Amino acid sequence: MIPVSIREMIDKRQFEHVYQPLWDLFNWSIFGYESLLRVNGINNVEHLFQKAREEGCLYELDLALLESSIFQFPFLENKGRLLFLNVYPSTILHHEFKPFLERVVERFPYIENRIVFELNETKEEEGIWKDGELKAAIELMRGYGFYIAIDDVGKGASTLQKIIELQPDYVKLDRYFAQGLAANEEKQKMVSLLASYCGRKMVLVLEGIEEEVDLAQAKLLRVPAAQGYLLGKPGKLT
């Protein structure tokens, strides 16, 4: 249950962020962190976004979270590492998003080429992906020095089409493919196929790595990057 209105929560900034590392499996080093929302008293933050959609302030919430994630992340102490931020396609298409990007770049000049926007898939916004304006908005974001990722690939109905049409910089493969990867030949074939397709144009990130044997299998399949509790749980950065 969410005790207050979303707008009140936004005004009071009643949220904080933790950061989960992403690992380069070729060089065995951390190359980025994903920002994850934590709110006192709320176990499932998806309910928070659903309530924001119902209250008509999803954009305001999304924007507030982007701003606070960037503000809280220690860029200078993590030189060269990327910050992965979740964002809804509807937020990207909002008429105030471009001014937001301009403000962010002006205020934080050192974040150029340091932020990856992860596009979230939801049933409510499925139609937006077919909108030509989304592709134009993504190109605009790249022009400001930002990267693009498609999240939870393999979970949605038409993700492969989105990869082909949008050509993201990062492809984050759903945790389903990491679970039991070492014992499942069909999953291995699919992961290998996607790793081969992405090649040097995109970086394939396998999410949900929890077992050492599955991590070893991912390395054998030449998966370039991974994320999961085995590699590092979400936490605060100093």
pLDDT in tens, 40-68: 777 788 888 988 998 899 999 999 999 99
Structure tokens at 27: 């060089």
What's the pLDDT at 196?
A: 95
| Euclidean distance between CA atoms 23 and 31, whole angstroms | 6
What mean pLDDT is predicted for residues 21-35?
A: 98
DSSP code, position 190: H
pTM of the model: 0.93
As a CATH number, domain 6-226 is 3.20.20.450
Q: What is the dihedral of CA 85, 143, 56, 121, to 10 degrees?
A: -50
- Of the pLDDT bands very low, low, confident and very high (cuts 50, 70, 90), residue 127 is confident
